[in-house]
């Protein structure tokens, strides 16, 4: 977390510890802090404050959006893509078991959904389109505004998982034409366990939780005031973060690694991407070996999505863009942020070539290639 976020949260644990639903001074102070945070989160995506519902994170926001729409129907058709985060993918799979029909759209080799495919997939019983704004593994930005127009013309609810996009690129939910938009604080240097769902005015959802009717009857449960305050501070800081500098550092990382290591490729390089994500495929080297070797040097990266680490399944995103299981396993995801320095990049460029060389020496495939 950014130090400013920690500093904003601390008084909520010590002095301003009231329950925001209470009418006494402590409660009203907590509510005022939450109201202020809501303003910053709403502003980050061009929403009204009344359209922000605080939840426990991106996973809940996605579940709330999708199940919230589906829960009002007894069945119907949903359109999504093959590269969604598991929070969307597994929710749609669960709804399939409950009788909904789901169209899983393929993507280009750079991970882009074709809005024409969305249009062609529409049916009279389509109840929801859910397509992510930016992909968490390869960083591809999807054509959300175009899909938004198609959804509006067809009068179908449109949700976008904006967990990786909000705070990284300018977002205006009105221009995007989304009805529902998911966010998560820990992707922008806020705390874990808090997020928000943008619910466009006039959109009715079936709540996931029943209880005291918090968040204007949309999300019951005593609010995580400290988390929300931290999210608000993180959103405020994200609005003025220099993401252009982050993009330059990311591009420099890719350029220098490509210059120093043969047979490496940047996945989704041709697509419009969020500035902080780089997914690099290293031929003839094994992903777990790369991750562990980099970890020993103090560099934390992942193969596939961190959310699914521990799984030996190749990433569904890399598979969807046409990579073989071996290529997917040899892919590394680097995540940068406004807190990344040029020295950090130089360090990775210094240590990675040696690691790749050592791992390739162990690879029978690489030896064969060199002999040829
Ligand atoms: N959606 C995307 C695109 C994500 O990258 C993530 C987390 O990595 C989530 C949803 C889930 O968010 P959370 O970790 O806040 O539950």
309 has pLDDT over 90: no
Closest residue by CA, ligand 1 atom 8:
307
36 has pLDDT over 60: yes
Other CB atoms closer than 10 Å to residue 321's CB: what's the count?
A: 26
What average pLDDT score do residues 27-39 get?
98
What average pLDDT score do residues 319-325 get?
94
- Residue 60 CA: nearest ligand 1 atom is 16
Is residue 307 annotated as part of the catalytic site, yes or no? yes
Closest residue by CA, ligand 1 atom 9:
58
Instruction: Please report the pLDDT score of residue 307 as a whole number.
Output: 44
pLDDT in tens, 232-288: 999 999 999 999 999 999 999 999 999 999 999 999 999 999 999 999 999 999 889
Q: Ligand 1 centre and the CA of 161: distance in Å?
A: 8
Instruction: Please report the pLDDT score of residue 306 as a whole number.
Output: 42
Tell me if 191 CB under 6 Å of ligand 1: no
What is this structure's pTM?
0.96
Residue 365's pLDDT band, with cuts at 50, 70 and 90, is confident
pLDDT in tens, 181-192: 999 999 999 999
Residue 138's pLDDT band, with cuts at 50, 70 and 90, is very high
Residue 304's pLDDT band, with cuts at 50, 70 and 90, is low
Tell me if 87 CB under 6 Å of ligand 1: yes
Instruction: Please report the pLDDT score of residue 310 as a whole number.
Output: 55
Among candidate residues 44, 21, 46, 20, the one with its CA nearest the CA of residue 34: 20
pLDDT in tens, 65-100: 999 999 999 899 999 999 999 999 999 999 999 999
Check 154, 208, 306, 307 and give the catalytic one. Answer: 307
Tell me if 126 CB under 6 Å of ligand 1: no
311 has pLDDT over 90: no
Instruction: Please report the pLDDT score of residue 355 as a whole number.
Output: 97
Q: Ligand 1 centre and the CA of 352: distance in Å?
A: 28
Tell me if 193 CB under 6 Å of ligand 1: no
- Residue 185 CA: nearest ligand 1 atom is 15
Tell me if 307 CB under 6 Å of ligand 1: yes
Q: Ligand 1 centre and the CA of 70: distance in Å?
A: 21
Q: Which domains does the chain have, with CATH numbers?
A: 3-239 (3.40.640.10), 243-371 (3.90.1150.10)
- Residue 134 CA: nearest ligand 1 atom is 3
Tell me if 137 CB under 6 Å of ligand 1: no
pLDDT in tens, 100-128: 999 999 999 999 999 999 999 999 999 99
Among candidate residues 30, 43, 61, the one with its CA nearest the CA of residue 235: 43
Instruction: Please report the pLDDT score of residue 366 as a whole number.
Output: 76
Choosing from 159, 164, 169 the residue with most ligand 1 atoms within 8 A of its CB, the one to mutate for a pocket test is 164
59 has pLDDT over 70: yes
Q: Ligand 1 centre and the CA of 317: distance in Å?
A: 14
Instruction: Please report the pLDDT score of residue 352 as a whole number.
Output: 98
Closest residue by CA, ligand 1 atom 13:
58
- Residue 62 CA: nearest ligand 1 atom is 10
Q: Ligand 1 centre and the CA of 260: distance in Å?
A: 33
Instruction: Please report the pLDDT score of residue 308 as a whole number.
Output: 47
pLDDT in tens, 162-174: 999 999 999 999 9
Instruction: Please report the pLDDT score of residue 371 as a whole number.
Output: 55
| Mean pLDDT rounded to a whole number for the chain | 95
Instruction: Please report the pLDDT score of residue 206 as a whole number.
Output: 97
212 has pLDDT over 80: yes
């Amino acid at each position: 977390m950014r130090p400013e976020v920690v500093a904003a949260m601390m008084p909520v644990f010590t002095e301003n510890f009231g329950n925001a639903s209470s009418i006494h001074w402590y409660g009203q102070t907590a509510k005022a802090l939450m109201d202020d945070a809501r303003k910053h989160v709403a502003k980050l995506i061009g929403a009204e404050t009344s359209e922000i519902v605080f939840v426990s994170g991106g996973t809940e926001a996605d579940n709330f959006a999708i199940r919230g729409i589906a829960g009002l129907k007894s069945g119907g058709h949903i359109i999504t893509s093959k590269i969604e985060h598991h929070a969307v993918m597994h929710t749609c799979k669960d709804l399939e078991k409950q009788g909904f029909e789901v169209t899983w759209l393929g993507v280009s080799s750079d991970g882009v959904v074709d809005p024409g495919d969305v249009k062609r997939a529409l049916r009279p019983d389509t109840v929801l389109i859910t397509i992510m704004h930016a992909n968490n593994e390869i960083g591809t930005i999807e054509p959300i505004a175009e899909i938004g127009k198609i959804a509006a013309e067809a009068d179908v609810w449109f949700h976008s998982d904006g967990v990786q996009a909000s705070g990284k690129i300018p977002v205006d939910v009105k221009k995007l034409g989304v009805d529902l938009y998911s966010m998560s604080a820990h992707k922008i240097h806020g705390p874990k366990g808090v997020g928000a769902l943008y619910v466009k005015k006039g959109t009715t959802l079936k709540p996931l939780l029943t209880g005291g009717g918090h968040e204007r009857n949309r999300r019951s449960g005593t609010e995580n005031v400290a988390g929300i305050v931290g999210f608000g501070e993180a959103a405020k800081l994200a609005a003025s973060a220099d993401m252009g500098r982050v993009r330059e550092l990311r591009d420099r990382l890719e350029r220098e690694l490509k210059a120093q290591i043969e047979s490496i490729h940047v996945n989704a390089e041709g697509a419009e991407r969020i500035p902080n994500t780089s997914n690099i495929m290293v031929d003839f080297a094994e992903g777990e070996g790369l991750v562990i070797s980099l970890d020993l040097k103090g560099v934390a990266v992942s193969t596939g999505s961190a959310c699914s680490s521990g799984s030996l399944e190749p990433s569904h995103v890399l598979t969807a863009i046409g990579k073989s299981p071996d290529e997917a396993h040899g892919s590394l995801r680097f995540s940068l942020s406004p807190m990344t320095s040029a020295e950090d990049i130089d360090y990775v460029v210094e240590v990675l070539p040696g690691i790749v060389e050592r791992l390739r020496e162990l690879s029978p495939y690489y030896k064969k290639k060199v002999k040829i």
